[in-house]
C-alpha cells in the first residue's frame, strides 16, 4: 500500500506505493491529483463493500485470503520484484510489513463481518490518528484526539449498544495494525526500490492468511463465482488504489494527500449505504464527521 508516504496518517492506508516526488505544478495538476485520491478512496472502500458480499460464500478469513493472494499475484507479475541483494535487516522489515498487512486486513474483514462498514473504518482510523497525534508532539494534538473521542462516542450512540462488541474490538485491533503498517511501509519503501517492497509484503501477508482461509473456506475458494468476486475485491482494494495514488502523489504534496485520505470513514459510510444498504443514524453520521475532522486536523497540524 510502497509508495511510502512519510506522513503520520495516510489512510486507509491499506495501500503503500513507494517514494514519490510530487510535482510542483499548480492548478490543473493539483485538481487532477485530488480527483485521483478521491477515486482511490472510493475504489478501496467499495472494494470492502464487495468483500462483504463475498462473506456468505467464503467467510471473512477466506475473503482475506482471496484478496491478498490475488493482489500478490497481480503485483508480482506487474512489479517483478528483485529478491537478491537484500540484507537480513531488509528482509526482517519487509516480512514485518507483510505480517502487519495481513493481520490488519484479517482483523478489518472480521470487523465488517459484524458491524457496518462506515463505523468499522471510523474506528480503524483511530490507529493512524493516534500515531499522528503522538508524532506531532504538539498540544493541539490533544484537541484533535478529544474531538475524535467525542466522535467515537457519538458513533456508538452514546454507548456502542448498537454495535457488536467483537466487531468494535476487531476494528480497533485493525487500527493498531494500521499504525504499525504505516511505520513499516515507510521503512520498506526506503529499503526496496519502486513497488518491490509492496509486492513482497503482499506475498508474505498472503502466505500468512492462506492456512486460516483454506481451513475456514475450503474448496469454496476455488468456485468460479467466488474467484470472480475475489478478483474484483483484489482489483478494487489493491490494483486501482495503488495505481491512482501513485499518480496522485506525483501531483500533490504528501500532507495534502494525507488530509484527503482522512475522508475514508465518510467514503466507507457511503459505500456501505449504496452497496450493502447499511444506514447510519444522525448521531452516527455526526460521529463519523467528527473523526474525519479530527484526522484531517491532526495531519495538517502535524505537518505545520
How high is the pLDDT of residue 72?
92
How high is the pLDDT of residue 149?
80
Q: What is the pLDDT of residues 13-37, one digit of tens each?
A: 344 444 444 444 455 667 788 888 8
| pLDDT surpasses 90 at 282 | no
By the 10 Å C-beta count (0-12 exposed, 13-18 middle, 19+ buried), 38 is classed as: middle
| pLDDT surpasses 70 at 38 | yes
Rg (CA), the chain: 18
CA distances from 258 to 205, 255, 274, 290 (A): 24, 5, 25, 17
Residues 6+ apart with CB under 8 A from 185: 1, 2, 4, 13, 16, 97, 197, 198, 201
| pLDDT surpasses 70 at 246 | no
How high is the pLDDT of residue 15?
43
Largest CA distance in the chain: 55
What DSSP character marks residue 220? G
How high is the pLDDT of residue 112?
94
Q: What is the pLDDT of residues 182-210, one digit of tens each?
A: 888 888 888 888 788 888 999 999 999 99
The per-residue pLDDT of the chain, averaged, comes to 82
Residues 90 and 99: their CA atoms lie apart, in Å, by 14
Residues 204 and 33: their CA atoms lie apart, in Å, by 31
Residues 100 and 98: their CA atoms lie apart, in Å, by 5
What are the cell numbers at 23? 510535482
Residues 90 and 94: their CA atoms lie apart, in Å, by 6
Percent of the chain with pLDDT over 70: 83
Average pLDDT rounded to a whole number, residues 250-270: 79
How high is the pLDDT of residue 28?
61
What are the cell numbers at 197? 517492497
How high is the pLDDT of residue 7?
34
Write down the residue that cell numbers 498487512 correspond to: 101
What DSSP character marks residue 219? G
Q: What is the pLDDT of residues 65-109, one digit of tens each?
A: 999 999 999 889 988 898 888 999 999 999 999 999 999 999 999
Q: pLDDT category, 155, cuts 50, 70, 90?
A: confident
Residue 144 gets the label, from left (phi > 0), alpha (psi -120 to 50) or beta, of: alpha
What are the cell numbers at 122? 471510523
> Of 265 and 173, which is predicted with more confidence?
173
Amino acid at each position: 500500500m510502497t509508495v511510502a508516504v512519510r506522513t503520520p496518517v495516510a489512510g486507509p492506508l491499506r495501500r503503500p506505493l513507494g517514494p514519490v516526488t510530487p510535482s510542483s505544478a499548480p492548478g490543473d495538476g493539483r485538481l487532477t491529483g485530488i480527483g485521483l485520491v478521491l477515486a482511490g478512496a472510493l475504489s478501496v472502500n467499495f472494494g470492502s463493500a464487495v468483500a462483504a458480499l463475498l462473506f456468505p460464500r467464503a467467510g471473512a478469513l477466506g475473503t482475506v485470503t482471496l484478496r491478498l493472494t490475488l493482489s500478490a499475484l497481480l503485483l508480482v507479475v506487474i512489479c517483478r520484484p528483485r529478491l537478491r541483494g537484500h540484507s537480513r535487516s531488509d528482509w526482517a522489515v519487509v516480512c514485518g510489513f507483510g505480517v502487519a498487512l495481513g493481520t490488519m486486513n484479517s482483523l478489518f474483514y472480521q470487523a465488517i463481518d459484524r458491524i457496518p462498514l462506515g463505523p468499522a473504518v471510523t474506528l480503524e482510523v483511530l490507529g493512524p490518528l493516534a500515531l499522528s497525534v503522538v508524532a506531532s508532539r504538539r498540544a493541539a494534538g490533544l484537541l484533535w484526539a478529544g474531538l475524535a473521542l467525542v466522535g467515537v462516542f457519538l458513533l456508538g450512540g452514546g454507548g456502542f449498544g448498537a454495535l457488536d462488541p467483537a466487531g468494535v474490538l476487531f476494528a480497533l485491533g485493525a487500527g493498531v495494525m494500521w499504525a504499525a503498517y504505516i511505520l513499516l511501509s515507510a521503512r520498506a519503501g526506503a529499503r526496496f526500490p519502486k513497488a518491490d517492497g509492496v509486492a513482497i509484503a503482499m506475498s508474505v501477508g498472503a502466505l500468512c492468511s492462506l492456512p486460516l482461509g483454506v481451513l475456514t473456506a475450503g474448496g469454496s475458494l476455488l468456485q468460479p463465482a467466488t474467484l470472480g468476486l475475489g478478483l474484483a475485491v483484489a482489483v478494487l482494494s489493491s490494483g486501482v488504489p495503488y495505481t491512482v495514488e501513485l499518480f496522485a502523489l506525483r501531483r500533490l504534496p504528501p500532507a495534502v494527500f494525507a488530509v484527503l485520505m482522512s475522508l475514508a470513514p465518510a467514503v466507507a459510510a457511503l459505500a456501505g449505504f449504496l452497496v450493502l444498504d447499511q444506514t447510519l443514524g444522525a448521531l452516527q453520521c455526526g460521529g463519523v464527521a467528527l473523526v474525519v475532522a479530527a484526522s484531517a486536523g491532526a495531519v495538517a497540524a502535524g505537518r505545520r
